[in-house]
C-alpha cells in the first residue's frame, strides 16, 4: 500500500485532486517547466508538468482523439497540419490516422517533453518518427509569425492558459493562425473547464471571434482535468465544423461520428456562456 500522494492545486477551482502514487519513475526540470512521471493504481503512468496532470495511460485517448479528429473530420481530405505544443506526440498520433495527411509540423518550445514521452509513454509517442512529421522545437508564437506556408488545420495542444502558454491565446496569435489557414481551414485550441473557468472560456471565445468569421465550442469528458467537462475552442474561415465530412477513421477508442455531432454546446447554452453578466450557466 502506497503512502505517497500527489495533490493538484488549481487556484481557479474550488476543489483539489489527490492521487495515490505507487512509484516515481522520473523527476526533472527544463528551462521551462518541472517534470514528473509517476504511476497510479488506476490511471497507470501519469505525466505531470509543474504539478499538474497532463495525461495518463488510462484515459489519454479521450483528449488526444477529440483534439485531432473533430478538426480533421470537418475538412475534406486534410493534408497539412500544424500542432503547437503536444510534444508528447498524442495529437500527432491521431492526426496520422487520416490517410490523406502529407505533412505535420510539431512545434513545441520544450524538447524535453518529447524525450520523456518517448522514454515513458511509447504508445503516445508512437507517431513521432513518422517521416511526415517535421519537428520544430521553438516558441509557437514565433513559429506562427515566421511560417510562410498554408495549413488545413492548426491544433494548439498547450498547457493551461498561464505562464509561457499565454502567448498562444492572444489576438495576434489567432490572427497569424487565420492567415495560415485556407478558406476551409480549422483552428482548435484547448479552452479550460466550463465548470471552474467559465469566464476564461468566454474570454477565449470573444478574442477568437474578433479574428475568425466563425467560432464554436465543443467539450469532452477528461477525468483528470479540473471539472472533468473540458472545452475546445474552434475558429474557422467559414467551414461548419459541426458537420463531419468524409469517412470517419475507425481505429479510435472514443471519437466517432455520433460523438462529433453531440460534442458541441447547444445554442441556448452557448448564448448563456457569452452573456457577460453571467458567471455560470
* Residues taking part in catalysis: 157
Whether the Cβ atoms of residue 193 and residue 229 lie closer than 8 Å to each other: yes
- What separation in angstroms does the CA of 258 have from each of 84, 218, 222? 27, 13, 18
Whether the Cβ atoms of residue 214 and residue 238 lie closer than 8 Å to each other: yes
Cell of 225: 482535468
Q: What are phi and psi of 37, to 5 degrees?
A: -120, 120
Task: Return d(Cα 116, Cα 260) in angstroms, integer.
Answer: 31
CA 228 distance to own-chain centroid: 14
CA diameter of the chain: 56
Task: Return d(Cα 117, Cα 54) in angstroms, integer.
Answer: 12
Whether the Cβ atoms of residue 100 and residue 132 lie closer than 8 Å to each other: no
Cβ neighbours of residue 3 closer than 8 Å, sequence gap 6 or more: none
Whether the Cβ atoms of residue 48 and residue 121 lie closer than 8 Å to each other: no
Whether the Cβ atoms of residue 138 and residue 111 lie closer than 8 Å to each other: no
3-state helix, strand, coil in the chain (%, to 5): 30, 30, 40
Task: Return d(Cα 168, Cα 58) in angstroms, integer.
Answer: 28
Amino acid at each position: 500500500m502506497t503512502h505517497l500522494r500527489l495533490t493538484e492545486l488549481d487556484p481557479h477551482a474550488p476543489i483539489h485532486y489527490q492521487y495515490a502514487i505507487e512509484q516515481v519513475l522520473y523527476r526533472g526540470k527544463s528551462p521551462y517547466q518541472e517534470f514528473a512521471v509517476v504511476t497510479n493504481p488506476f490511471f497507470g503512468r501519469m505525466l505531470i508538468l509543474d504539478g499538474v496532470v497532463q495525461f495518463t495511460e488510462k484515459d489519454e485517448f479521450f483528449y488526444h482523439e477529440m483534439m485531432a479528429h473533430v478538426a480533421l473530420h470537418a475538412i475534406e481530405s486534410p493534408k497539412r497540419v500544424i500542432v503547437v505544443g503536444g510534444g508528447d506526440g498524442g495529437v500527432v498520433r491521431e492526426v496520422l490516422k487520416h490517410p490523406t495527411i502529407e505533412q505535420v509540423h510539431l512545434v513545441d518550445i520544450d524538447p524535453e517533453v518529447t524525450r520523456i514521452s518517448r522514454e515513458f509513454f511509447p504508445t503516445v509517442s508512437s507517431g513521432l518518427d513518422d517521416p511526415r512529421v517535421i519537428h520544430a522545437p521553438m516558441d509557437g508564437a514565433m513559429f506562427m509569425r515566421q511560417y510562410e506556408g498554408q495549413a488545413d488545420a492548426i491544433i494548439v495542444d498547450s498547457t493551461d492558459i498561464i505562464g509561457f502558454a499565454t502567448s498562444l491565446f492572444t489576438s495576434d496569435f489567432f490572427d497569424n493562425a487565420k492567415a495560415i489557414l485556407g478558406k476551409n481551414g480549422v483552428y482548435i485550441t484547448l479552452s479550460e473547464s466550463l465548470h471552474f473557468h467559465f469566464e476564461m472560456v468566454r474570454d477565449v471565445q470573444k478574442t477568437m471571434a474578433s479574428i475568425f468569421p466563425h467560432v464554436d465550442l465543443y467539450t469532452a469528458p477528461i477525468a483528470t482535468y479540473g471539472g472533468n467537462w473540458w472545452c475546445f475552442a474552434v475558429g474557422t474561415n467559414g467551414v461548419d465544423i459541426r458537420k463531419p465530412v468524409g469517412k470517419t477513421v475507425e481505429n479510435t477508442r472514443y471519437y466517432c461520428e455520433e460523438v462529433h455531432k453531440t460534442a458541441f454546446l447547444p445554442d441556448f447554452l452557448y448564448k448563456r456562456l457569452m452573456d457577460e453578466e453571467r458567471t455560470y450557466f
